[in-house]
Structure 1
């Protein structure tokens, strides 16, 4: 039931693009957390916070590599927000049963570029690292900043 006492009605879209409007109530199950991390000390705190939140999901004990990939992606995305946007970062983790979505919002509307740093350079790899680790990567400009989101699908399907 939604806040007004009604049910959520969904239209399901199959891979072939066809729709199924049943009008029947659909239970939407998702688990999520959100937290803001300040420029000073936020990256380390963000890694710890993420690891603690992931411990509550049923698949994480069996997939330590996926957990490590998610924590590394969080580290890179928070670092980018702090270094390039010079702003606090809002981290949102959402688990919908198939994908662990990591979203980081900052106050700079400029989308990050994937650089190709030279050997020996100590920066410029964040977006490339996240792109390699995640199953999907999406960047959106918004009126008051941008959001970079990465989707991680556990190998066992989260079961």
Structure 2
């Protein structure tokens, strides 16, 4: 490791009980992305992150019947969006009919995020999606 290298990261966490509603998660996430300056520089990415947060928190509330712990971590390369819930059952993608009202959350997360993973924890599971902002061209 280079002598001057160090991990620079910033993060935020919020607990979202079942009674809080998913809108609180979306608004909270959008505010922190604005703090990172993404609203003006990468508005489509902001919308993708907010939609993924909505889907992951909805899954925690609907399938795990649990409070969702939402954690955002920015390490200057990737915004890691983690949602923890109390169920150890890992999410699964299922075939969904064209007329179904739900069941597309993981398909959306897979399409929006650069990558995602789910893993069991001692008290439930974490589902983490990574979002990388577009690289700006180096000055000429």
TM-score normalised over the length of structure 2: 0.92
Structure 1 residue runs without a partner (length 5+): 1-11, 13-21
TM-score normalised to the size of structure 1? 0.81
Who wins on radius of gyration, i.e. which is larger? Answer: 1
Is 1:64 aligned with 2:43?
yes
Moved over 3 A (4+): none
Whether the 8 Å CA contact 1:117–1:125 is kept in 2: the answer is yes
**Structure 1 position 156 matched with structure 2 position 135:** yes
> Can you give the 5+ residue segments of structure 2 that lack an aligned partner in the other structure?
none
In the alignment, structure 1 residue 85 sits paired with structure 2 residue 64: yes
Aligned pairs for 1:29-48 within 5 A? 29-48=8-27
Distance in 2, Cα, partners of 1:119 & 1:109? 29
SS of 1:40's equivalent in the other structure is helix
The number of residue pairs the alignment matches comes to 137
1:97-112 aligned within 5 A: 97-112=76-91
Calculate the aligned-residue CA RMSD, in Å.
Answer: 1.6
2:130 aligned with 1:130, yes or no?
no
1:60 positional shift: 3.5
CA drift at 1:26: 3.8
Worse-superposed segment, 34-43 or 46-55 = 34-43
Distance (whole Å) between structure 2 residues aligned to residue 120 and residue 59 of structure 1: 35
1:44-99: CA deviations, max 9, x gaps?
10000000011011343111000000000000000000000000000000111110
Greater helix content: 2
